[in-house]
Amino acid sequence: RGRLTDLPAISAAMCDALRDIDNARPYDGYQDEVFTGTGVALVVRPADEWVDYLQAMKGGQASVSYVVEIVVPRANVRASYTKIAELVSAGAGHNRSVIDTLKPNSAPQTLGGVIDDLAVRRASGLLEKQYGAVSYMGVDIDVDILVPRLHS
């Protein structure tokens, strides 16, 4: 038997990897509220076009898309922007950058064997966000994941 697209395992593995980032708290899925304190919340959630099974139905790979929503406190706009810029920079180091943590080099990143590889596509949507009564600044990072759908 082959491995199928295991969506809960993928988002959990992404959260496990993101725990390496200093002062960050990953969340698996949509949240009513997030807690950052003076740190960073990283919300791993499905992208608008979450799963594309077309290639998998032909015996290839399923394409799965997630968003890593970076959320930082908005106490000081300049400091918030600086922190977000570091988190979306490549080359800042695996404990400081979402990009470096998820895709540290050109080798396939399998998240412990859960996926075949991933690509960080873009960071977009720098804006103010509201969780409960607290204001934050945030940005969305689009992550494309390739997963085999092997048949038995």
Kindly list the distances between the CA atom of residue 110 and the CA atoms of 12, 37, 76, 94, 107, in Å, as whole numbers in the listed order: 13, 31, 37, 16, 9
pLDDT for 120 beyond 80: yes
Q: Where are the beta strands (DSSP E) in 53-100?
A: 61-73
Longest dimension (CA), the chain: 55
pLDDT digits (tens, 9 = 90+) for 39-96: 899 999 999 988 887 766 776 778 899 999 999 988 788 888 999 999 999 887 778 8
Q: Count of CB atoms within 10 A of residue 80's CB?
A: 20
pLDDT band at 149 (very low <50, low <70, confident <90, very high): low
Query: Using alpha carbons only, how large is the chain's radius of gyration in Å?
Result: 16
Q: Give the end-to-end CA distance of the chain in Å, rounded to a whole number.
A: 4
Task: Calculate the dihedral angle through the C-alpha atoms of 145, 40, 27, 139, rounding to the nearest 10 degrees.
Answer: -50
Higher pLDDT, 132 or 96: 96
pLDDT reported for residue 1: 33
pLDDT reported for residue 150: 55
What's the average model confidence in pLDDT over 125-141?
A: 84
Share of the chain above pLDDT 70, in %: 91
pLDDT reported for residue 56: 66
pLDDT reported for residue 140: 95
pLDDT reported for residue 134: 76
Closest CA to 84 of 95, 98, 94: 98
Token code pair at residue 65: 């898309």
